[in-house]
């Protein structure tokens, strides 16, 4: 099923299957009336703002950690 509000705004809707019981014509009409618009409304509202870039949190170089057991190099004291 495809919902088209405008010619430029065509979206593919998810498939609905009845796995138990039987749906009469009233049930199918209710689903056909409510679900497509609820799906489009939810998809339109489900947007997030892009977080801003913070230079203090982005590291330009890798932190160098000495391997375990290698403390100060070759000095053995």
Band (pLDDT 50/70/90 cuts) for residue 44 is confident
- Residue 14 CA to residue 36 CA, distance in Å, equals 9
Helix (H) or strand (E) holding 4: strand 2-4
Domain that holds residue 10: 2-45
Q: What is the pLDDT of residues 4-26, one digit of tens each?
A: 555 555 666 667 777 888 888 99
Instruction: Identify the three-state secondary structure at position 11.
Output: strand
pTM of the model: 0.36
The span from the CA of 17 to the CA of 1, in Å, is 12
The answer to whether position 9 is within a domain reads yes
Residue 29: inside a domain? yes
Question: Pairing mode, if any, of strands 10-12 and 2-4?
Answer: antiparallel
Does residue 32 form part of some domain?
yes
Q: How many domains does the chain have?
A: 1
Give the Cα-Cα-Cα angle 7, 9, 15 (nearest 5 degrees). 110
The answer as to whether 33 is a domain residue is yes
How confident is the model over 21-42, as a mean pLDDT? 86
């Amino acid at each position: 099923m495809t919902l088209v509000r405008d010619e430029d705004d065509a979206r593919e809707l998810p498939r609905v299957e009845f796995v138990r019981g039987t749906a009469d014509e009233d049930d199918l009409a209710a689903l056909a009336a409510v679900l497509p618009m609820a799906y489009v409304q939810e998809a339109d509202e489900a947007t997030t703002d892009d977080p801003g870039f913070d230079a203090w949190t982005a590291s330009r170089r890798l932190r160098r950690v000495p391997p375990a057991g290698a403390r100060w190099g070759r000095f053995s004291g």
